[in-house]
Chains A and B, each alone.
Chain A
Amino acid sequence: MQLSANGLLRGAFYVLLAVSFGLIFSSTRTFHFAHGATFSLAGYLFYTLHQTLGWPIGVALAIVCGVGALYGIALEMLLYRPLRLGRAPAFVIMIASLSAFFITEVFLAAVYGDGLLRVSHSFSTNFVGTGEFRFPLLRLVIAGTSLAALVLLFLWLTSTRAGVKVRALASDPELADALGMVSQTTRYWVFAVGSVMVSVAGAFYATDLGLVPHMGIVALLYGSVAAMLGGIGSIAGGVAGAMILGVSMDVGMYFISGQWQDALAFGILILVMLFRPSGLFARRTEAMEV
């Protein structure tokens, strides 16, 4: 029981990664590999602002989110948009994103070194609950924030003009373009919102498990695996995928040792892709390739 409850909390963290990745992927058809770099960038920046400079959490978090959003928008502006206009196939965009990701990580590693850096905060040492059910306070805060972020995202997508345009872009990009509903601004919005979500996750990660340079790739892999498990293009699918991944990782770790963690995540994905290539909860069963 304790295990699966921990798994759900772990899943709540993946939710931020999976849903933000899925939002960008389903609406702009961009395999935003550099999303993982936004995550690391946010984590390290949060470390610098809050731990080194001692700025209050709220201020630091706001700046981190702003920088994350700018980073996402800059990539869309300088990399993805020119490629899309040059009618590059999806694979090319992914390769470009992969390169941007690794370059950013290399610079972060050059600035911060290879060691583990962790933001220390009373959140991460306090526990709540009794007996069998004891949870770190920080994990609960993460779960709460994820939930709040999901609600906000849902409201944004359903009840604002920009959000509705994002959904139009996701459901039929050609039609949305032809009707003149969607402009480049919508794509910038998507990148900004997705990047803010993943920046929050990065700041949490800095406080919870600590920062190492290669954490971005792991985060991206888990985010994309969870999004694909659930099925691209549905928020509920992304949430479910993240929860399934979280619980199965925690239960799996109980039986096999921790170093096989990444292998396990991908083993799950490969199995799902073999039997349900479009994800467990996909709304449509069409291929992503247009």
Chain B
Amino acid sequence: MSPYVLQVLSLFNVLAIAALGLNVVVGYSGILSVTQGALVGVGAYVGALVLLAGGGWLMASALAIAVTAALGCVVQLLSNRALGDYYIVISLGIQTVLFAVMLNWQDVTRGSMGLSGIPGIPAFAGGRIEFWVVSFAVLILAFLLVRAFSRSFHGTVLRAIRSDEIATLSLGKPVRLYKVGAFVFGAALSGVAGLLYATLHRYIDPYSFQVNLSILLLSAVIVGGLGNVYGSLVGVGLIVALPEALRFVPMPSGLAAHINEIVYYSLLILFVLFRRQGIVPEFGWGSSALNVLGRPGAKVAP
């Protein structure tokens, strides 16, 4: 396989892991987060710094997961009180603050120069194939974890919270704890995705982890179908493949530079207007049930 195709397929694996994490947060739990991109960035920076300091793979993965999970916990505790639209603004705010830290904490992150020379996966055959194999294995693991989670008791309680927070509270479920737990799970998956992202590109800079990445992941899970594990894979597949395909269509260079953004924002508008349940609806093809986007005003506990 050509290096180009392998690169695209590897990027798919990495983004799909992050999207699965976001699906736990938005799809199953109804927490409308736009912080995921920055969390991927934090995972990437933590992992890269550990690797650059010679910390080894085990250490890098453990720290990337631990730091993003802990950060996710703090983020959700901070923003738990905000409701509805306010939540998204807070979430956007946290995304902006984390980006500012990545950009401006120059002693550690080297600011806009980025971190280069990040060691790749130990190579036997050129490095690209090994990376694809490793990232694919991690993706399968993440997929099985999220699927098991969605079918578990905890997944069910989260869906109950999503449709009616107050009713779930009245059943004696610790609603806040569940929401924080879901967010931490999603954040940990972003941490893993971040570490893989850093080793895929061998170079990171803060600009890769702006709000655009958050929206890219959000549009992947919405287009694919919120609350459905297969949906996240389909959505990421579409969002990775479409811009690559459009690269061969002639267009003005000003637009060509931004083709990725145009594709996923247009897809987002179209799906939000015409098919809010996504390509794969939450309860499978046959069901007409709408996900968290489809119902007006789910009740939220004050």
Residues on A lying within 8 angstroms of B by beta carbon are: 25, 31, 79, 82-83, 87-92, 94-96, 98-100, 102-103, 106-107, 109-111, 113, 217, 221, 224-225, 228, 257, 259-260, 262-263, 266-267, 269-270, 273-274, 277, 287-290
**How far in angstroms is the closest Cβ of chain A from B295?**
7
- Among B234-292, those with CB < 8 Å from A are 252, 254-255, 257-258, 261-262, 265-266, 268-269, 272-273, 276, 292
Inside 8 A of B3's CB, which chain A residues have their CB? none
A31 touches B93 (CB 8 A): no
A267 touches B97 (CB 8 A): yes
A238 to B295, alpha carbons, bound, how many Å? 31
A106 to B81, alpha carbons, bound, how many Å? 34
Inside 8 A of A109's CB, which chain B residues have their CB? 254, 258
**Which residue of chain A lies nearest to B26 when distances are taken between CB atoms in the complex?**
A91
Inside 8 A of B273's CB, which chain A residues have their CB? 79, 82-83, 96
Q: Given known contacts A91-B32, A95-B222, A98-B215, is B96 in contact with A221 (CB within 8 Å)?
A: yes
Q: Given known contacts A31-B85, A110-B255, A228-B89, is B269 in contact with A99 (CB within 8 Å)?
A: yes
Inside 8 A of A266's CB, which chain B residues have their CB? 93-94, 96-97
**How far in angstroms is the closest Cβ of chain B from A183?**
21
Inside 8 A of B211's CB, which chain A residues have their CB? 217
Inside 8 A of A225's CB, which chain B residues have their CB? 89, 93
A225 to B261, alpha carbons, bound, how many Å? 25
Compute the total of residue contacts between A and B using a CB distance below 8 Å.
Answer: 139
User: Would you mind naming 27 contact pairs between A and B with Cβ atoms under 8 Å apart?
Assistant: A79-B269, A82-B273, A88-B293, A89-B297, A89-B298, A90-B84, A90-B85, A96-B273, A99-B272, A103-B265, A103-B269, A106-B258, A224-B89, A228-B86, A259-B103, A262-B100, A263-B96, A263-B100, A266-B94, A270-B78, A277-B81, A287-B83, A287-B300, A287-B302, A288-B83, A289-B84, A289-B300
B167 at interface, CB cutoff 8 A: no
B90 at interface, CB cutoff 8 A: yes
A113 to B100, alpha carbons, bound, how many Å? 24
A83 touches B272 (CB 8 A): yes
B6 at interface, CB cutoff 8 A: no
Q: Given known contacts A102-B215, A263-B96, is B293 in contact with A87 (CB within 8 Å)?
A: no
A96 touches B97 (CB 8 A): no
B63 at interface, CB cutoff 8 A: no
- Among B77-107, those with CB < 8 Å from A are 78-79, 81-86, 88-90, 92-94, 96-97, 100-101, 103-104
**How far in angstroms is the closest Cβ of chain A from B206?**
11
Inside 8 A of A288's CB, which chain B residues have their CB? 83-86
B296 at interface, CB cutoff 8 A: yes
**Which residue of chain B lies nearest to A29 when distances are taken between CB atoms in the complex?**
B85
B268 touches A287 (CB 8 A): no
Knowing that A98-B268, A259-B104, A287-B84 touch, tell me 15 more A-B residue pairs with CB under 8 angstroms.
A83-B273, A89-B292, A90-B85, A92-B276, A95-B222, A96-B268, A100-B269, A106-B258, A113-B254, A228-B86, A257-B104, A259-B103, A262-B100, A273-B90, A274-B78
